[in-house]
Structure 1
Amino acid sequence: MRLVLAVAFLVGLGGISVADDNRIDIQRPDAPELAAPGPYDIGVRTLDLVREDVPNVLAGGTYDRPVTVEVWYPADLQGGAAGGDYVDVQMANSDQKITLHGQAVRDAAPLAEDGPYPLVILSHGFPGNRFLISHFGENLASKGFVVASIDHFESTYENQLGFASTLANRSPDQLFVLDAIASGEDFLDGMVDGENSAIIGYSMGGYGALISGGAGLAPAAGQMGMASPEALAGLMAGSDGYDEHLDPRVKAVVAIGPWGGQVGLWDEVGFAGIEIPLLVMGGSLDEVSNYETGIRRIFEGAVNSDRYLLTFQGAGHNAAAPMPPPVEASEGGPGSPFEHYADFVWDNARMNNIAQHFVTAFLGLHLKGDETMEPYLAVGSGSWNEPAGDRAWKGFGERTTRGLVWEILPIE
């Protein structure tokens, strides 16, 4: 009884969300307005795709690269089924499989009559899996998007291999999935507006999203010893391979804690290649991607983009993107499952809700052309390294902007 009361007390104070039983659809009472689910019921299906004849940067030769994708979409439930479970999900830093809970109904009939819907690709960190940032999947599908979340082979909890594969395959995986889902085959017939697509990437997913959005790598990237120059040649800014790689259907990018800026993977030429709207999110104490030399450098360097930066003051690398820690991740410490998901200061569900709010406004404006979303993005700014107190931001309740900094930079 004492343990139950203690857990309830923590949740009541906005602390660690361990009493929510592995839900990816948590809406806290202090969530900003646009975090709330939209009007659509949600379906979900798993697709097993294959990229054929991919260069094997780890072993040489070529191979057929499996790409498993979880797809969320507006569904026609006809008042029937209730939300379902995600079973046998691999937990980080563990051999344990867990069950997640949400609103989506497995294999539900798609609601094509209101389509086609803009497409959003989700791309996890290294390591991760297609469920790590799945809260975006359900949330956005309820608002009239088709959302596809990728298992990046050789970069998952079950299959974490050489880092060179992640560097070489992140962006190609993302654009392969865009092409596959945008084709509208099978149950997606009439559902997908592939011409209006976006990528949301976390950490190494953010690295890939930036490349997919126009930020070709600097020549120095191939000399750092993380991957061979040959493996990255087609991702270099200005190369023929990179120009062919880009997909004009990508109309916006969300990069959360993007990795790579702090080690110099991009130079001014690469950053300038981003010519679409960019939303960057990160914690001011990011210990992996480095806030000042990485995250801010990307935001400030994308001079040909209308861009936004949301900073969670005091948060680390787990800001905004990862779902709340599963109840099975009960023990902390370096390398623990708990610390893979959790931030030391901020509650995951709160950060998820804030991210859902701003992503809804950003994609609503830039993919759907919904100008009613613009005031939610035109909120007061501040300085990332000075205490952020109470501000009146559209969609936020009293005292709920504390610790948040929002910055806007137009095309220069």
Structure 2
Amino acid sequence: MRKIGYTILLFLSTYSCLLAQIKNFNQISKRYIDVSRGNRLLLTEIWYPGNLVDENSKEIFDISKTVVRKHPLVLLSHGTGGNRFSLNWLANILAGEGFIVASVDHFGNTTDNKIPEYFVRYWERPLDISFVMDQLLEDPNFSDIIDHNRLAVVGFSLGGYTSLALAGARLDCSLFKKAAKNKQGKQELNVPEMGDLTQLIDKIDCKQIPKVLKDDRVKAFVALSPALGLGFSTEDQFNVEAPVLIIGTEGDTITPIKSNAIKYHRFIPTSQIKVLKRNLGHYIFLPKLKEYSPDEAIFFKDPQGVDRTEVHQEVGRIIVDFLDKSL
């Protein structure tokens, strides 16, 4: 799976540069370190509208001082074993619509930085997003152009759980560990990116997990094929007031919608759900690649008659419309 990371990284870096020229938005990489969590490295890709750039500056990145309009900020959380470019297609759409977008590499859980035990440290991800949000809202270059009252999070798969955790979904660690041992758990927790995670889950020390991961600064949440529904069983686990959009796929065998997307929707009164049909699978939300090896087919090969780009455009329109109404 290591090869996949480099393939996506190279493809998306080139692709995003081309789109930046066409759609009039720009892109920059940032390196943040959370010293409170063992110097946790959080590589972050940021997309921002082209009208924010100071054209007279010789600096690589310099926001124009004449900009008066504030822009909403959207943070993206990739899926298990993905990276900050996994939702590149969505970042392009959002930046083209005037959003500032920041996508985080979740340390130890990316294609080119695999640390097995970090694949099950699900609570680190919401903390990553909140930390990077802190950095952007305090950054002299970004703080004045971000509308601090219009913040959103979008996540895919484990990133979908991340978004919902920030909204106020509290996963029951003990229930999750128990569910990992039943038939459904063993199916959902044996993932193509890493294999069987059940033994690692059994070793989680539930006492080390923060009781509160919710971030009240965020006003809207989107979850694409969210995972970890196994760790939820009652409405009491949800303290969600903000609007939530959940998008799932009928053909998802990785995070089946019945035990994940639909389950979350049933427990969150403020949520709306959109289920994509046409036999679309879990990985439809990954970027479209024209060339990939046979072992990558599960991620990038679509059923006959399905155009992944068209699906992305449809989903992008749904998300933009939701954010416009919710922020």
Corresponding residue of 2:299 = 340
Residue 313 (structure 1) shift:
3.3
Corresponding residue of 1:85 = none
Q: From the two aligned structures, give the one with the greater helix fraction.
A: 2
**Which TM-score applies when normalising by structure 1?**
0.63
Q: Deviations over 1:30-63 (max 9, x none)?
A: xxxxxxx9x9731211110011131xxxxxxxx2
Residue 113 (structure 1) shift:
1.7
CA distance in 1, matches of 2:13, 2:99: 26
Paired letter, 2:268 = A
State which of 112, 118, 126 in structure 1 corresponds to 2:72: 118
Paired letter, 1:362 = F
Q: Deviations over 1:357-399 (max 9, x none)?
A: 00110001111xxxxxxxxxxxxxxxxxxxxxxxxxxxxxxxx
Q: Are the aligned partners of 1:47 and 1:70 in contact in 2 as well (CA < 8 Å)?
A: yes
**Which TM-score applies when normalising by structure 2?**
0.78
Q: Are the aligned partners of 1:121 and 1:174 in contact in 2 as well (CA < 8 Å)?
A: yes
CA distance in 1, matches of 2:299, 2:325: 32
State which of 117, 122, 134 in structure 2 corresponds to 1:179: 134
SS at match of 2:67: helix
Listed as ranges, the gaps of 5+ residues in structure 2 are: 1-11, 181-198
State which of 202, 206, 212 in structure 1 corresponds to 2:156: 202
Larger Rg: 1
Paired letter, 2:214 = L
Q: Are the aligned partners of 1:68 and 1:150 in contact in 2 as well (CA < 8 Å)?
A: yes
Q: Deviations over 1:216-254 (max 9, x none)?
A: 1124135556152336631xxxxxx31xx3221111111
Q: Are the aligned partners of 1:146 and 1:191 in contact in 2 as well (CA < 8 Å)?
A: no
SS at match of 1:139: helix
Q: Deviations over 1:267-316 (max 9, x none)?
A: 2235532221111112101011012222211122212x142323233111
Corresponding residue of 1:253 = 221
Residue 21 (structure 1) shift:
11
Paired letter, 2:251 = L
Q: Are the aligned partners of 2:166 and 2:214 in contact in 1 as well (CA < 8 Å)?
A: yes
State which of 274, 287, 309 in structure 1 corresponds to 2:274: 309
SS at match of 2:114: coil
Corresponding residue of 1:285 = 251
SS at match of 1:259: coil
Corresponding residue of 1:267 = 233
Residue 26 (structure 1) shift:
10
SS at match of 2:144: coil
> Among the aligned pairs, what percent are the same residue?
23
SS at match of 1:193: strand
CA distance in 1, matches of 2:158, 2:204: 18
Q: Deviations over 1:51-92 (max 9, x none)?
A: 1131xxxxxxxx210001011112238898xxxxxxxxxxxx
CA distance in 2, matches of 1:114, 1:312: 42
The verdict on how the C-alpha distance between 1:221 and 1:110 changes in structure 2, with shifts beyond 3 A counting, is farther
The verdict on how the C-alpha distance between 1:306 and 1:189 changes in structure 2, with shifts beyond 3 A counting, is closer
CA distance in 1, matches of 2:260, 2:245: 14
Q: Are the aligned partners of 2:54 and 2:64 in contact in 1 as well (CA < 8 Å)?
A: no
Paired letter, 1:42 = F
Listed as ranges, the gaps of 5+ residues in structure 1 are: 1-19, 28-36, 55-62, 81-105, 235-240, 368-412
Aligned length: 288
1:386-401 → structure 2 map (5 Å cutoff): none
